[in-house]
């Protein structure tokens, strides 16, 4: 049973969009439904960073404020990066490359691997969480992942 939904940048980005954006409203309704079922929602620090940098680049200041409020407005929602998570991310990245399954350009900061390592290092039970994402192929190499629209608590 899914007890924790971990938000990747696509659904998190939808949640901080203006109310007039149809897909964003659908995502907010979906999330409210999940929360009403008692599902916990988590925002990993690396995802927060990835979305925040893009919103800042686009000068979307209201969206940045919404991101901050959503992420830090609920105790336990924000999952900080730890040294052990970064160490594990380096190992996962290297193993994926050795197996011929790169998840990003060799010189890129591989957010998907860091996200996955954060969840593993945090000790989340893979049977109880799923990453809500639009990037199934990379993240699902390491941890459970699904498109947000398909996740039901």
Q: ∠133-138-143 over CA atoms, to 5°?
A: 75
- Domain containing residue 76: 4-80+124-150
Note the pLDDT tens digit of each residue in 61-70.
Answer: 999 999 999 9
Residue 102 falls inside a structural domain: no
CB 46 within 8 A of CB 115: yes
- pLDDT tens readout for residues 1-14: 789 999 999 999 99
Q: What's the structural domain count of the chain? A: 1
Least Cα distance to 137 among 8, 3, 4 occurs for 8
For residue 19, what is the domain's CATH number? 3.40.50
Going by the DSSP 8-state scheme, the letter that residue 103 receives in this structure is S
pLDDT single digits (tens) 58-97: 999 999 999 999 999 999 999 999 999 999 999 999 999 8
pLDDT band at 146 (very low <50, low <70, confident <90, very high): very high
Q: Across all residues in the chain, what is the average pLDDT?
A: 93
**Alpha-carbon distances, residue 114 vs 17, 105, 133 (angstroms):** 25, 14, 14
Q: Tell me: the pLDDT tens digits for 101-114?
A: 877 777 666 899 99
Find the mean pLDDT for residues 22-38.
95
pLDDT of residue 135: 83
Q: What is the DSSP string of 28-62?
A: HHHHHHHHHTT-EEEEEHHHHHHHHHHHHHTT-HH
């Amino acid at each position: 049973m899914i007890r924790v939904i971990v938000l990747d940048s696509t659904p998190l980005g939808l949640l901080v969009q203006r109310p007039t954006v149809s897909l964003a409203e659908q995502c907010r309704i979906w999330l409210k439904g999940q929360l009403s079922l008692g599902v916990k929602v988590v925002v990993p620090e690396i995802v927060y960073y990835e979305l925040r940098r893009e919103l800042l680049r686009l000068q979307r200041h209201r969206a940045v404020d919404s991101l901050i409020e959503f992420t830090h407005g609920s105790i336990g929602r924000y999952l900080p990066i730890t040294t052990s998570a970064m160490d594990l991310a380096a190992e996962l990245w290297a193993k994926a490359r050795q197996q011929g399954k790169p998840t990003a350009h060799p010189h890129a900061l591989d957010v998907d691997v860091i996200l996955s390592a954060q969840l593993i290092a945090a000790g989340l039970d893979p049977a109880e969480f799923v990453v809500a994402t639009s990037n199934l192929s990379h993240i699902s190499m390491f941890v459970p992942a699904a498109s947000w629209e398909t996740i039901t608590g």
